[in-house]
């Protein structure tokens, strides 16, 4: 299984899908993978959510909040036994194919963004089902976890 930032954010934020996502993680055949891009995207999204709740939409995100959130995400990934993958040479080709086919850039209903295209590419390369939240990846040919 490859875990997308959206799933990490939903679980750590205790969104309505959190319990269902955790069940899928616990039922998954190991290994569970993630990439550096997923960690970056999850940390920034979670820090932004926390910043908005504490300081409002238009304030800057304190650096310490990013550091604290990074540790929270790393601890979560450790707890579920997830393994970081190396980003292989040429992964950008698969990510660009995803953008060309499913991207926000080309007006596809999936509206995959930069991070989504690299998550798609990583899951495809690993031939791994993808754990995600939302309808974006559901509108692609990716196998859902």
| pLDDT one-digit tens code per residue, 111-134 | 999 999 999 999 999 999 999 999
Residues 6+ apart with CB under 8 A from 88: 125
Residue 144, in any domain of the structure: no
Q: In this prediction, what percent of the chain has a pLDDT beyond 70?
A: 100
**What is the value of pTM for the model shown?**
0.94
Residue 53, in any domain of the structure: yes
User: Are residue 35 and residue 60 in the same domain, yes or no?
Assistant: yes
User: Are residue 103 and residue 117 in the same domain, yes or no?
Assistant: yes
User: Are residue 16 and residue 47 in the same domain, yes or no?
Assistant: yes
pLDDT of residue 124: 97
Going edge to edge, which strands form the sheet with 33-34? 83-84, 33-34, 2-3, 130-131
User: Are residue 93 and residue 79 in the same domain, yes or no?
Assistant: no
Q: How far apart are CA 137 and CA 124, in angstroms?
A: 12
Residue 79, in any domain of the structure: yes
User: Are residue 10 and residue 44 in the same domain, yes or no?
Assistant: yes
User: Are residue 69 and residue 10 in the same domain, yes or no?
Assistant: yes
User: Are residue 32 and residue 54 in the same domain, yes or no?
Assistant: yes
If one counts the domains in the chain, the total is 2
User: Are residue 112 and residue 123 in the same domain, yes or no?
Assistant: yes
pLDDT at 29 over 90: no
User: Are residue 73 and residue 98 in the same domain, yes or no?
Assistant: no
CATH, residue 65: 3.40.50.1010
User: Are residue 22 and residue 60 in the same domain, yes or no?
Assistant: yes
Q: Per-residue confidence at 30, pLDDT binned at 50, 70, 90?
A: confident
User: Are residue 70 and residue 107 in the same domain, yes or no?
Assistant: no
pLDDT at 64 over 90: yes
Domain of 100 in residue numbering reads as 88-130
User: Are residue 80 and residue 93 in the same domain, yes or no?
Assistant: no
């Amino acid at each position: 299984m490859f875990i997308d930032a959206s799933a990490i954010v939903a679980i750590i934020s205790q969104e309505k899908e959190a319990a269902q996502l955790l069940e899928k993680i616990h039922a998954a055949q190991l290994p569970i993978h993630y990439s550096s891009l997923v960690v970056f995207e999850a940390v920034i999204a979670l820090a932004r959510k926390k910043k908005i709740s504490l300081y409002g939409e238009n304030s800057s995100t304190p650096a310490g909040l990013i550091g604290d959130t990074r540790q929270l995400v790393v601890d979560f990934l450790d707890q579920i036994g997830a393994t970081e993958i190396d980003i292989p040479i040429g992964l950008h080709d698969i990510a660009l194919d995803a953008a060309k086919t499913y991207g926000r850039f080309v007006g596809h209903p999936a509206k995959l963004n930069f991070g989504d295209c690299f998550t798609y590419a990583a899951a495809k390369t690993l031939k791994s089902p993808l754990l995600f939240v939302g309808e974006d990846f559901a509108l692609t040919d990716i196998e859902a976890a």
